[in-house]
Amino acid sequence: GVMEKLGLGPEILLQENPSLIYARLTGFGQTGKYAKSAGHDINYLALSGVLSNLGRKDENPYAPINLLADFAGGGVMCALGIVIALYERATSGRGQIIDASMVEGVAYLSSFLWKSQKFGFWSRPRGENLLDGGAPFYEIYRTSDGKFMAVGALEPQFYEQLIKGLGLDSNELPIQMSISDWPEMKKKFASIFAQKTQAEWCSIFDGTDACVTPVLSLNDATSHQHNKHRRSFIKNDQGDISPRPAPLLSRTPAVPSCERDPFIGEHTEEILLENGFTKQEIAKLHSDKIIGFSKPKANL
Query: How far, in Å, CA of 67 to CA of 143, rounded?
Result: 27
Whether the CA torsion 42, 71, 59, 48 is positive or negative: it is positive
229 flagged as catalytic:
no
- With vertex at residue 145, the alpha carbon angle to CA 155 and CA 192, rounded to the nearest 5 degrees, is 40
Distances (CA, A) of 2 to 8, 10, 77: 9, 11, 21
Do you find a cis peptide bond into 247, omega within 30 degrees of 0? yes
Catalytic hit among 41, 58, 70, 286: 70
- Report yes or no: 178 and 216 within 8 Å, Cβ to Cβ: no
41 flagged as catalytic:
no
| Residue 77: count of CB within 10 angstroms of its CB | 20
The residues carrying an active-site annotation are: 40, 70
